């Protein structure tokens, strides 16, 4: 298969297009407006099952044939959707067992969307039929660029408690454990008399009187992730067989807890995701983290923003529009961090239905002079000048360990502290890198760390088979690893690693932890590091030094004077342990010190709230600069380099001004 940047040689620009909501006359108007706006790609048919298969086996593709032809005539490529995200009424009526069931045992009703059970064999059979028909019909259509499989798996229904799902869970457990004795051992079922004699004895944990078995909870989450992924694979296989050269993907959502996107990414030809930051409360930093995570899922390969909104959504309590310029600015943040596409939900604002007040590229009025359409048009024209960016990667020497299974496990109940948020810990470490414009990837604990010099592992509670070795090797080979509190505690079944905490990390960190002292909200302790003092909250570890040295001490409570932060030399590298949740300034200080040691620097120096990201490929080195401030920003560039400003066409050297709420895309021209 060709590289995505060969299939999409321009920054992809467009959105979800739902022509079945309009008549043929509007289709032509749409295509003309798309052309004017520089649209080159649309996703068609995401919710079209009911108009593609009107009754079981009664297919009607005539309208879609026309739409595909019109789009092609206007130079617009198509991500053709497989239309399986919202099964039609006839399927739910005829086969009620295709409906997903909630944790109270109640089937979801027809009348919104995503009401299918991922484990229903009848739903899967119907999916196969529809997808095969679509693929056969459009396999040679010149407009077909990619396949958009289903839509946002798990968004509304990420757990299913149907009979089909229970049987599938049993089969999944049999595959994983082979014997019931192994399962009992892994789940620790001798606790509270939870021992099972047969796989078929296992029920869902939907209504237990108190804390359910942790190993079982964790496996249910894995099972649901795998069920949805398997469903995706059913479609992918058909599409691959019939159209081996057409890339396939589904659209992800941010850091969505129920789905382990690292396990999905290898099955997508390109990662795509839907981004909806709240213009009232969302921060560029939170948004940037999500883009960086999406880029990391396929190890740095560019991703596509598959949906965002031009102005406002309709599903928050208060849905304010993005301010003038904001949509453009946030689009460039995505591009800076590795996106090769800016797509929207949706092309034309709906007249009817649950999302009629959701923004779109063309508003209800259809007015070409509307602010929304003008901004859409401006951005579309601008992006045409950025072809050299496509395929470019974001080189990063720093990474943060991120692991969905760890996230699931550490936030299950019954812990020393039951208000821990994994994401909050990750965000604290991300903040330091973001604020300093240091490119950072996310990587799994067992992932390839060889290209990084500095890796932070916040709250890595679960350390699975093989991960210990991977982290040890990274440090042995000269890397710097920073680990924070409540790490290295359990195995993949949420069973304690025997021996001292944190057993799998004990040798690299050169410490052991004897006790945990969680703190309630409002309580705090203090760190003393040389002459500096920092506040810390949430948690203190009672640490014993083995080979490590103390870098900071607790100053209060019965464990005052004991180490809070430690440093250990291991092989050619170094491992730092932070046994508490320090105030941000401490994390900033410690990480910036370590970056200094490693010579990790930003691509240029800039005032706060200006993002600068380097993207590089055989087509050139680029700097994408996004100024979120209400005033202009002066950027000092590397004096050894000259650039061309791709949007203005001018030459740039030494320093450059980026206007308030504005962007610059610079391409390096020569080395002086
Ligand atoms: C996404 C979904 C779209 C649309 C959009 C509205 O989650 O994929 O179909 O509903 O939200 O914001």
For residue 344, the CA-to-ligand 1 centroid distance in Å is: 9
- What is the CATH number for 250? 3.20.20.80
Q: Is residue 370 part of a domain?
A: yes
Q: Which of 326, 352, 387 is the last residue of a domain?
A: 387
Q: Which of 341, 360, 387 is the last residue of a domain?
A: 387
Q: Is 278 in the pocket of ligand 1 (CB under 6 A)?
A: no
Q: Are 42 and 34 in contact (CB under 8 A)?
A: yes
The predicted pLDDT at position 35 comes to 97
For residues 454 and 333, membership in a common domain is answered with no
- Which three-class secondary structure state does DSSP give residue 187? helix
β-pairing, 655-658 vs 633-636, is antiparallel
Angle at 319 between CA 313 and CA 325, to 5 degrees: 75
For residues 409 and 513, membership in a common domain is answered with yes
Q: What's the number of CA atoms in the CB half-sphere (13 Å) around residue 658? A: 29
Q: Is 256 in the pocket of ligand 1 (CB under 6 A)?
A: no
For residues 275 and 155, membership in a common domain is answered with yes
Residue 196 class from Cβ within 10 Å (0-12 exposed, 13-18 middle, 19+ buried)?
Answer: middle
Please say if 152 is a catalytic residue. yes
The span from the CA of 535 to the CA of 586, in Å, is 9
The span from the CA of 76 to the CA of 143, in Å, is 7
Q: At what angle do helices 121-138 and 214-242 cross, to 10 degrees?
A: 30
The predicted pLDDT at position 344 comes to 98
Q: Are 512 and 546 in contact (CB under 8 A)?
A: yes
The span from the CA of 503 to the CA of 488, in Å, is 6
Contact residues for 312 (Cβ-Cβ < 8 A; gap 6+): 279, 319, 320, 321, 322, 357, 358, 359
Q: Which of 235, 307, 375, 405 is catalytic?
A: 307
Which pair of structure tokens corresponds to residue 486? 């409540």
Q: Is residue 102 part of a domain?
A: yes
For residues 372 and 407, membership in a common domain is answered with no
Which parts of the chain sit beneath pLDDT 50? none
For residues 527 and 419, membership in a common domain is answered with yes
Q: Is 59 in the pocket of ligand 1 (CB under 6 A)?
A: no
Q: Which atom of ligand 1 is nearest to the CA of 155?
A: 7
User: What digits encode the pLDDT tens for the residues 162-176?
Assistant: 999 999 999 999 999
Q: Is 17 in the pocket of ligand 1 (CB under 6 A)?
A: no
The predicted pLDDT at position 9 comes to 93
- Which three-class secondary structure state does DSSP give residue 397? coil
Q: Is residue 392 part of a domain?
A: no
Q: Are 309 and 362 in contact (CB under 8 A)?
A: no
- Which three-class secondary structure state does DSSP give residue 369? coil
For the entire predicted model, the pTM comes to 0.98
Which residue is closest in CA terms to ligand 1's atom 5?
345
Q: Is residue 225 part of a domain?
A: no
Q: What are the phi and psi torsion angles at 635 (to 5°)?
A: -115, 130
Residue 74 class from Cβ within 10 Å (0-12 exposed, 13-18 middle, 19+ buried)?
Answer: middle
Smallest CA-to-CA distance from 336 within 404, 392, 283, 280 is with: 392
For residues 581 and 483, membership in a common domain is answered with yes
For residue 345, the CA-to-ligand 1 centroid distance in Å is: 6
- What is the CATH number for 646? 2.60.40.1180
Q: Output Rg (C-alpha) for the chain, integer angstroms.
A: 26
For residue 310, the CA-to-ligand 1 centroid distance in Å is: 13
Q: Which of 152, 159, 375, 611 is catalytic?
A: 152
Q: Is 358 in the pocket of ligand 1 (CB under 6 A)?
A: yes
Q: Is 152 in the pocket of ligand 1 (CB under 6 A)?
A: yes
HEC string of 277-335 equals CCCCCCCHHHHHHHHHHHHHHCCCCCEEEEECCCCCCCCCCCCCCCCCCHHHHHHHHHH
For residue 4, the CA-to-ligand 1 centroid distance in Å is: 24
For residue 250, the CA-to-ligand 1 centroid distance in Å is: 13
Which residue is closest in CA terms to ligand 1's atom 9?
345
The strand pairing partners of 55, in sequence order, are 58
- Out of 42, 44, 157, 274, mutate this one to test ligand 1's pocket (max ligand atoms within 8 Å of CB): namely 274
Q: Which structural domain range is residue 92 located in?
A: 4-169+245-387
Which residue is closest in CA terms to ligand 1's atom 12?
313
Q: Is 49 in the pocket of ligand 1 (CB under 6 A)?
A: no
Q: Which atom of ligand 1 is nearest to the CA of 313?
A: 12
Asked if residue 155 belongs to a known ligand binding site, the reply is no
Q: Which atom of ligand 1 is nearest to the CA of 152?
A: 8
For residues 532 and 553, membership in a common domain is answered with yes
Residue 537 class from Cβ within 10 Å (0-12 exposed, 13-18 middle, 19+ buried)?
Answer: middle
Bond from prior residue into 346 cis (ω within 30 degrees of 0)? yes
For residues 358 and 412, membership in a common domain is answered with no
Q: Which of 387, 419, 441 is the last residue of a domain?
A: 387
Q: Is residue 209 part of a domain?
A: no
For residues 329 and 456, membership in a common domain is answered with no
Our count of domains for the chain comes to 3
- Out of 152, 153, 304, 356, mutate this one to test ligand 1's pocket (max ligand atoms within 8 Å of CB): namely 152
For residues 23 and 101, membership in a common domain is answered with yes
For residues 576 and 461, membership in a common domain is answered with yes
The predicted pLDDT at position 190 comes to 98
State which H helix or E strand residue 598 sits in.
helix 584-598
Asked if residue 465 belongs to a known ligand binding site, the reply is no
Q: Is residue 179 part of a domain?
A: no
Which residue is closest in CA terms to ligand 1's atom 1?
274
Count of residues making up the chain: 672
For residues 542 and 617, membership in a common domain is answered with no
For residue 152, the CA-to-ligand 1 centroid distance in Å is: 8
Asked if residue 525 belongs to a known ligand binding site, the reply is no
- Which three-class secondary structure state does DSSP give residue 536? strand
Asked if residue 113 belongs to a known ligand binding site, the reply is yes
The predicted pLDDT at position 670 comes to 66
635 to 110, 235, 624, 656: CA distances (angstroms):
55, 48, 12, 5
């Amino acid at each position: 298969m060709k590289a995505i940047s060969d299939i999409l040689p321009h920054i992809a620009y467009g959105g979800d297009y739902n022509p079945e909501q309009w008549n043929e006359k509007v289709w032509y108007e749409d295509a003309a407006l798309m052309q004017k706006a520089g649209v080159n790609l649309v996703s068609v048919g995401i919710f079209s099952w009911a108009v593609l298969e009107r009754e079981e086996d009664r297919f009607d593709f005539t309208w879609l044939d026309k739409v595909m032809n019109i789009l092609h005539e206007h130079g617009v490529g198509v991500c053709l959707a497989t239309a399986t995200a919202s099964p039609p009424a006839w399927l739910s009526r005829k086969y009620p067992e295709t409906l997903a069931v909630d944790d109270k045992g109640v089937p979801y009703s027809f009348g919104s969307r995503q009401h299918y059970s991922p484990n229903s064999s009848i739903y899967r059979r119907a999916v196969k039929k529809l997808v095969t028909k679509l693929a056969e019909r459009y396999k040679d259509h010149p407009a077909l660029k990619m396949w958009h499989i289903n839509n946002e798996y798990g968004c509304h229904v990420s757990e299913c408690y149907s009979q089909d799902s229970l049987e599938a869970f049993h089969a999944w457990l049999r595959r994983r454990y082979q014997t019931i004795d192994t399962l009992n051992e892994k789940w620790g079922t001798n606790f509270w008399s939870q021992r099972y004699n047969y796989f078929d004895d296992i029920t869902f944990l939907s209504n237990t009187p108190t804390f359910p078995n942790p190993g079982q909870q964790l496996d249910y989450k894995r099972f649901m992730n795998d069920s949805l992924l398997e469903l995706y694979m059913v479609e992918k296989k058909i599409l691959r067989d019939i159209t081996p050269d057409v890339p396939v993907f589904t659209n992800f959502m941010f850091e969505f807890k129920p789905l382990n996107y690292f396990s999905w990414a290898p099955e997508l030809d390109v990662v795509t995701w839907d981004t909806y930051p709240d213009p009232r409360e969302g921060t560029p930093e939170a948004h940037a983290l999500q883009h960086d995570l999406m880029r990391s899922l396929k190890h740095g390969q560019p991703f596509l923003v598959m949906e965002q909104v031009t102005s406002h959504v309709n599903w928050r309590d208060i849905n304010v529009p993005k301010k003038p310029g904001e949509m453009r600015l946030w689009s460039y943040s995505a591009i800076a961090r590795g996106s090769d596409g800016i797509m929207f939900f949706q092309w034309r604002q709906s007249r009817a239905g649950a999302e009629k007040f959701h923004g779109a590229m063309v508003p209800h009025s259809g007015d070409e002079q509307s602010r929304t359409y003008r901004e859409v048009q401006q951005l579309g024209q601008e992006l045409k000048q950025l072809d050299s960016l496509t395929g470019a990667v974001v080189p990063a020497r720093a990474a943060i360990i991120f692991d969905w299974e760890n996230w699931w496990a550490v936030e299950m109940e019954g812990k020393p502290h039951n208000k821990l948020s994994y994401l909050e810990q990750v965000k604290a470490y991300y903040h330091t890198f973001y604020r300093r414009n240091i490119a950072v990837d996310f990587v799994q604990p067992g992932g390839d760390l060889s290209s990084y010099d500095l890796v932070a592992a916040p709250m890595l509670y679960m350390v699975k088979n093989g991960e210990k070795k991977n982290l040890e090797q990274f440090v042995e080979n000269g890397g710097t690893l920073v680990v924070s509190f409540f790490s290295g505690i359990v195995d993949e079944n949420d069973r304690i690693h025997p021996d001292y905490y944190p057993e799998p990390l004990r040798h690299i960190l050169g410490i052991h932890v004897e006790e945990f002292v969680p703190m309630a909200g409002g309580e705090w302790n203090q760190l003393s590091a040389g002459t500096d003092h920092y506040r810390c909250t949430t948690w203190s570890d009672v640490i014993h030094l083995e080979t490590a040295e103390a870098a900071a001490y607790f100053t209060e409570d019965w464990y005052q004077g004991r180490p809070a932060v430690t440093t250990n030399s291991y092989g050619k590298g170094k491992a730092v342990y932070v046994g508490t949740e320090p105030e941000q300034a401490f994390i900033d200080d410690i990480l910036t010190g370590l970056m200094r040691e490693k010579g990790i620097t930003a691509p240029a120096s800039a005032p706060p709230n200006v993002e600068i990201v380097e993207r590089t490929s055989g087509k050139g080195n680029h700097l994408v600069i996004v100024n979120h401030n209400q005033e202009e920003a002066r950027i000092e560039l590397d004096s050894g380099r000259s650039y061309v400003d791709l949007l203005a066409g001018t030459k740039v050297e030494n320093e450059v001004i980026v206007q308030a709420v504005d962007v610059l895309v610079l391409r390096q021209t020569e080395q002086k």
